[in-house]
Structure 1
Amino acid sequence: MIDDETPVLDNHLHLDPDNHRGIDAVEDFARLGGTHLLVVNKPSWHLDVEADRGEDFRPVFERTIEVVEEASAVLEGRAWPVLGVHPGLISRLVDERGYSPEEAREIMQSGIDVAAEYVADGEALALKSGRPHYDVDDSVWEASNDVMRHAFEHGGDLDCAVQLHTEASEEMTEVADWAEDAGMERHQVVKHYAAGRLEGPTPSVMSEKDRLERAAERGEPFLMETDYVDDPDRPGAVLGPKTVPRRVRWLLEEGYEEAVHNAHVETPKLVYGIDTETTLDRRSDGS
C-alpha cells in the first residue's frame, strides 16, 4: 500500500473540464493515492484555437492555469501547469493551413514566448515543446528543431525545465547538448512518453510495468506519467488517471522503494525545484 508520507506525482497529463472529465479524473487519481500533478495544456487546436500569432495561445494557457487551481483544491498535494506549443502544430499549419515552415516556426516560437511569460510570473512551472514523432520533410524538421531550441533559450533564461514531445528514442544526447548550450542543465530537459532507458534528457516514463522496471533498475533520475488525454473521442487512449498510483503501489510491492522515492521526490526536486514532501498536506495533519 501507499503510506501517508509517500508523494505520488503524475508528471504529464491533460485535463479538459469543458469537454470531458476534468476534475473527475483528478478525483480518481487522488482516491487511489495520487497527490501531485503536472498538467500540460492540450494542443491548441483541440480547444478550437487556430493560432496565427503568439497571443492566440493565451486562452489555452489561461484555461490550463484555471483547471490546475481547481485540481490543487482536491489534491492532498498540489498541481502545477506546464505550458507550451505542441510540436504537431507545425503540420497543421503547413499541411492544412498553407503556411510555410518558416512562417509556422515564427507562430510557434511566439507561442513559446507567451508561455514563458507565465513561467516568469510564477504562474507556470515549466515549458512544453518538441518536434514531430512522425516523418516530415527536412524543412519542417529544421523548423521544428528551431522551435525546440527557442524553448531551450527560455529555459536557460528562466532556469526552468522544458518537457519535450518527440520521436521515440533512447539516445537524445544531441538534444540535451542543445539545451546545455542555451544555458539549461541537462537534467532540466524532460522527454515525455519515454521508455525506461534514455541518454541525454530525464525520462518521463510511461507507467507500464516493463518500462518502469527498466527505469527502476537503471537507478538514474526518472519521472512517471500517464499522458492521460481527457478526450471524449478517445476515452481509452494512452493511460488512465488511476495508473500512476496503481503502479507506485506495484513498485512498492516489488521492493522498489528507492525507485519510488527517486521518481516522486528526488527527481521532481532535481528537475523542477519542487518539494513534493513539504507540499503534501497529509504528512502534517495526520489525515
Structure 2
Amino acid sequence: MIDEDTPVLDNHMHLDPDHGRGIDAVEDFARLGGTHLLVVNKPSWHLGVEAERGEDFRPVFERTLEIVEAASDVLDGRAWPVLGVHPGLVSRLVDERGYAPEIARDIMQDGIDLAAEYVESGDALALKSGRPHYEVDDAVWTASNEVMRHAFDHGGSLECAVQLHTEASEAMPEVAAWAEEAGLPAHRVVKHYAAGRLEGPTPSVMSEKDRLEIAAERGEPFLMETDFVDDPDRPGAVLGPKTVPRRVRWLVEEGYERAVRIAHVETPERVYGIDTVDTLTRP
C-alpha cells in the first residue's frame, strides 16, 4: 500500500451513479490508496440533457454534487466537483441540432455562467471548458474559443481554476495569454489529458508511465489523472479508477518521491488552493 501520510489525488474523473459504476469505482480507487478526487461532470448529453439554455445544465451539475458528497464519505480525504460545459457540445448543437455557431456559443456560455454560480457559492471548486480536440470549421473554432475565454473571465473574477479539454499540444502560450488577460494566472489553467510536458497551462498528466516519467524528470508542477469515463458501453475507455494509486506506488518505487509530492500536495495547493494533507484523515 501507499504510505499512510501520502495524499493521492486523481485530478479528472467522471462518475455516473445512475448508468455506470459510481461509488463502486470510488471504492476501488480508495482501496488501492487513493484519497482525493476532482469529479468533473459528464457531458450533458450523456445524461440525457439536450440543452437549449443555461438553466438546462442544472440537473447535470446537481447530480455531480450528489455523487461528490457520496464519494467524500468513502474517501480518507475528500472529493471536489468541477463543473462546466464539455467543448464537444458545440458539434452536437451545430452538426446534429442545426444551431448556428453563434447560438451554440451563447448556450454554452450560459452553461458556464450557471457553473460559475456554483463556484461563487462555494459548492464547486473549479470550472470546466475548452475547445474541440478534432478538426472543425473556422466559425465553430471561433465560437469555441469565445466560450473558453468566457470561462477565463469567470475564473479571473472568482479566482478559481479552469480545467480545459483541448487538442493535444505541448505548448499553449496563446491560451495562457488569454487567461492572463482575463485576470486568471496561467498556472490556474489546467490542461486535462496532458502529456508529460506543457508550456503555458498546468498539465494534468494522463497516468501512463511514459508520460509520468517525463513529468517527474522535469520537476515542474503537474497533476495526475485517469479521465475515467464511467460508461458501461465503453468499459475499457481511457484509464480505470485504480490507475493513479498504482502509478503513485510505481513512482515511489522508481525514486520519484519528490514528483509525488509535487503532483499530490504542492500543485493542488498552487492551482486550486486545496490542502490534500490537512484533509487527509486516514485511520
Common topology (TM > 0.5) = yes
Amino acid at match of 2:273: G
SS in 2 for 1:281: coil
How large is the Cα RMSD of the aligned pairs? 0.4
Aligned sequence identity (%) = 83
State the AA in 2 paired with 1:114. L
Q: Which residue of 1 aligns with 2:127?
A: 127
Give the letter for the 1:212 counterpart: L
Letter in 2 for 1:100: A
Q: 1:49 is matched with which residue?
A: 49
Aligned to 1:70: 70
Distance 1:4 1:92 in 2: 45
Following the alignment from structure 2 to structure 1, what is the Cα–Cα distance between the partners of residues 261 and 61? 31
- How far apart are the structure 2 equivalents of 1:91 and 1:31? 38
Give the counterpart letter for 2:172 in structure 1. Answer: M
Task: Tell me which moved more, 1-10 or 74-83.
Answer: 1-10
Query: Per-residue displacement from partner, 1:21-61 (whole Å, max 9, x unpaired)?
Result: 00000000000000000000000000000000000000000
Number of residue pairs matched by the alignment:
283
Q: Tell me the equivalent position of 1:209.
A: 209
The Cα of 1:2 is off from its aligned counterpart by 1.2
* Alignment-derived partner of residue 256 in structure 1: 256
Written as runs of structure 1 = structure 2, the 5 A alignment for 1:68-107 is: 68-107=68-107
> Segments of 4+ in structure 1 off by > 2 A?
none
Shift of 1:132: 0.1
Aligned to 2:136: 136
Pairing 1:154-173 to 2, within 5 Å after superposition: 154-173=154-173
Which residue in 2 is equivalent to 1:218? 218
Could you give the per-residue CA deviations for residues 245-265 of structure 1, whole angstroms, max 9, x where no partner exists? 000000000000000000000
**In 2, Cα distance between equivalents of 1:44 and 1:170:** 28
1:11-30, aligned counterparts within 5 Å? 11-30=11-30
Match of 2:146? 146
* Structure 1 partner of 2:185: 185
Give TM-score scaled by structure 2 length.
1.00
Deviations 1:199-228 (A, max 9, x none): 000000000000000000011100000000
Distance apart, 1:20 and its partner CA? 1.2
| CA distance in structure 1 between the aligned counterparts of 2:89 and 2:113, rounded to whole angstroms | 16
Give the Cα–Cα distance (whole angstroms) in 2 for the partners of residues 176 and 158 of structure 1: 17
- Structure 1: gaps (5+ residues): none
Q: What secondary structure does 1:258 align onto?
A: helix
